[in-house]
């Protein structure tokens, strides 16, 4: 209940949006939409937990938001607290569980993106806000410890959904098992053809070093215990709580 009220307060304070209750049959369904184009950018519903594949029959609040990137939406729905859009599965809509599983700061960030994606401005620019990614680096294939010793910008395997201006945090796999670098993406989709020892690369991106971390700063054990990250096998979303710590 508290997250529901926090979200409605956030939409009211930032976007001057008052919730609309459109259905007599569903009196707690709250629609958030733009004043100008009348498009929805959020929908709070209460639904039975079992309808989400969760245990229990009690009702729980969820928030539907629309994202710009289908890969990003798919990646989120593989994480706890996120689902494919409930009753709005098309157009990159996702549902966020409002039981405390997902932090309010993360919810605010996703609601902001939904507001942008559904706005008139977005139709003109077709741009999405920069995102933060956690990407793996295998010391078996690359000397990641010395990657930036000679220059501050290197080529790296292109990650699906990653765009120019995004931030990538490079996680070195075992035996290092820790985040080592914060980088910004300066160029993407550079043609490349490499296939050897089970590793295939079709395109590259350029990444520029912004910050170094000591190997014992953000270890795998810390990521697992404090941020619920149990594997980094490909590009993945950086939770807001981890993003704040990495700053």
Q: What phi and psi, each to the nearest 5 degrees, are found at residue 57?
A: -110, -5
More confident position, 91 or 204:
204
Residue 226: what pLDDT? Answer: 85
* Mean pLDDT confidence for 118-133: 71
How confident is the model over 47-68, as pLDDT tens digits?
Answer: 988 888 888 788 999 999 998 8
Residue 167: what pLDDT? Answer: 96
Residue 126: what pLDDT? Answer: 53
Residue 123: what pLDDT? Answer: 53
How confident is the model over 148-190, as pLDDT tens digits?
Answer: 998 999 999 998 878 899 999 999 999 999 999 999 999 999 9
H-type alpha helices, 66-169: 70-76, 104-117, 120-125
Beta 93-97 vs 82-84: how paired, if at all? Answer: antiparallel
* Mean pLDDT confidence for 112-138: 79
Residue 166: what pLDDT? Answer: 94
pLDDT confidence of 89, banded at 50, 70, 90? low
Residue 246: what pLDDT? Answer: 94
User: Does 99 score more than 70 pLDDT?
Assistant: yes
Residue 152: what pLDDT? Answer: 94
SS3 57: coil
Residue 155: what pLDDT? Answer: 94
Structure tokens at 186: 């300066």
Structure tokens at 84: 């494919």
Spatial separation of the C-alpha atoms in residues 107 and 204, rounded to whole Å: 31
Residue 127: what pLDDT? Answer: 58
Whole-number average pLDDT of the chain: 88
pTM over 0.75: no
Spatial separation of the C-alpha atoms in residues 120 and 153, rounded to whole Å: 36
Spatial separation of the C-alpha atoms in residues 64 and 190, rounded to whole Å: 35
Spatial separation of the C-alpha atoms in residues 17 and 21, rounded to whole Å: 13
ω into 234 cis (within 30 of 0)? no
Locate tokens 């914060």: which residue?
182
- Residues 62, 83 contacting (CB under 8 angstroms): yes
* Mean pLDDT confidence for 86-105: 86
Residue 22: what pLDDT? Answer: 92
User: Does 6 score more than 90 pLDDT?
Assistant: yes
SS3 144: helix
Spatial separation of the C-alpha atoms in residues 54 and 61, rounded to whole Å: 13
- % of the chain with per-residue pLDDT over 90: 52
Residue 217: what pLDDT? Answer: 95
E-assigned strand segments in 59-177: 59-66, 82-84, 93-97, 132-137, 153-157, 167-172
Spatial separation of the C-alpha atoms in residues 111 and 105, rounded to whole Å: 10
* Mean pLDDT confidence for 69-91: 81
pLDDT confidence of 124, banded at 50, 70, 90? very low
């Amino acid at each position: 209940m508290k997250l529901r009220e926090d979200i409605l307060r956030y939409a009211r304070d930032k976007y001057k949006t008052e919730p609309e209750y459109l259905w007599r049959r569903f009196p707690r369904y709250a629609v958030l939409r733009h004043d100008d184009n009348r498009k929805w950018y959020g929908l709070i519903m209460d639904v039975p937990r079992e309808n989400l594949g969760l245990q229990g029959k009690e009702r729980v609040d969820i928030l539907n938001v629309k994202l710009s990137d289908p890969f990003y939406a798919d990646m989120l729905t593989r994480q706890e607290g996120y689902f494919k859009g409930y009753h709005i599965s098309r157009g990159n809509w996702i549902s966020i569980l409002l039981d405390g599983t997902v932090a309010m700061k993360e919810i605010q960030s996703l609601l902001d993106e939904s507001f942008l994606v559904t706005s008139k401005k977005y139709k003109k620019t077709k741009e999405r806000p920069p995102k933060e990614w956690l990407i793996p680096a295998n010391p078996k294939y690359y000397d990641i410890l010395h990657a930036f010793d000679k220059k501050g910008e290197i080529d790296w395997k292109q990650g699906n959904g990653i765009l120019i201006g995004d931030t990538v945090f490079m996680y070195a796999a075992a035996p290092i098992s820790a985040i080592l670098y914060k980088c910004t993406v300066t160029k993407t989709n550079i043609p490349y053809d490499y296939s050897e020892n089970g590793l295939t690369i079709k395109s590259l991106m350029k990444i520029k070093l912004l910050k170094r971390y000591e190997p014992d700063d953000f270890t795998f054990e810390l990521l697992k215990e404090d941020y619920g990250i149990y594997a980094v096998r490909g590009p993945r979303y950086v939770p807001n709580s981890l993003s704040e710590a990495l700053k």
